[in-house]
Amino acid sequence: MNKHIRAAFFDIDGTLLLYDNHGMPDSTVQALHALQANGVKIFIATGRPPVHLPHLPALQKVNWDGFVTMNGQYCFLADGEQVYSKAIDPASLRTLLPYIEKEQLSIGFVEKDACYFNLIDARSADFAKELGQGTADIAARIEQNPIYQLSAFLPDDCEEEFLRRCPGCLAVRWSPDFADILPAGGGKPNGLAEMLKHFGWTKDEAIAFGDGGNDVAMLQYVGLGVAMGNACDAAKAAADYVTADIDKDGIAKALQHFSLL
């Protein structure tokens, strides 16, 4: 049994949950229970905000020890204790608003407990419907609550111009439909670092699983980075090990490979 690893971090979409129906393979559920029984704490590490998690009931099959959400911008323990948070500078959002209004871009604004759009279009309609999100007075919300992340529904070749209009931010993608916009210097490794520090562990005592572009830095950061067989090429290149696809028992096989089960 591998006694060195103390923490395991898991992306959600395409890693824990199937993209088509948001189900969790039985082999994954069983492997996570066994991993915890072997003394390893398990954490979600996702681009999604906390408010999305109740919409993914398959996650409730496991008792998670903590959550790194919004690409590391908001981290908390199972009992709700906040470990770390970093919001986007409101000044950057004020600069952005005239641009997205002029270009009629559909942007999701993500708070800790709420998500809403400036407008919903053909790109964002399905996403908004699935999560029950509507529109809001963005200018007012910016002044009322911290905005930790944006979901910018635009092609990747438009990201550069978008970021020029939203200074002090960066873009990462886990979906071809939109980019997650974070404060500069943000990303999953920041959240992992804060969670590990809370428990007194180092990054070498952590394993992480992912499949998307927003997982690349996380897979490079930890002691053991595992890319799913269905991962994008960049995630596979960043990983220490490439396992089987999510629906081919990928998580269980990787944990067995590293003697964690």
The string of pLDDT tens digits covering residues 45-61 is 998 899 889 889 999 99
What is the average pLDDT value for the chain, to the nearest integer?
A: 93
The pLDDT score that the predictor gives to residue 8 is: 98
The pLDDT score that the predictor gives to residue 127 is: 82
DSSP string covering 66-135 = EEEEGGGTEEEETT--EEEE-PPPHHHHHHHHHHHHHHT-EEEEE-SS-EEES---TTTHHHHHHHT--B
What average pLDDT does range 25-43 have in this prediction? 97
What would the pLDDT profile of 160-175 be if each residue is shown by its tens digit? Answer: 999 999 999 999 887 7
What would the pLDDT profile of 35-45 be if each residue is shown by its tens digit? Answer: 999 999 999 99
In CATH, the number for domain 7-85+186-257 is 3.40.50.1000
- What does the alpha-carbon distance between residue 192 and residue 236 come to, in Å, rounded to a whole number? 20
Q: For the chain, what are the domain ranges?
A: 7-85+186-257, 90-183
In CATH, the number for domain 90-183 is 3.30.1240.10
The pLDDT score that the predictor gives to residue 55 is: 85
Under the phi-then-psi rule, with left for phi > 0, alpha for psi from -120 to 50, and beta for the rest, what region is 232?
beta
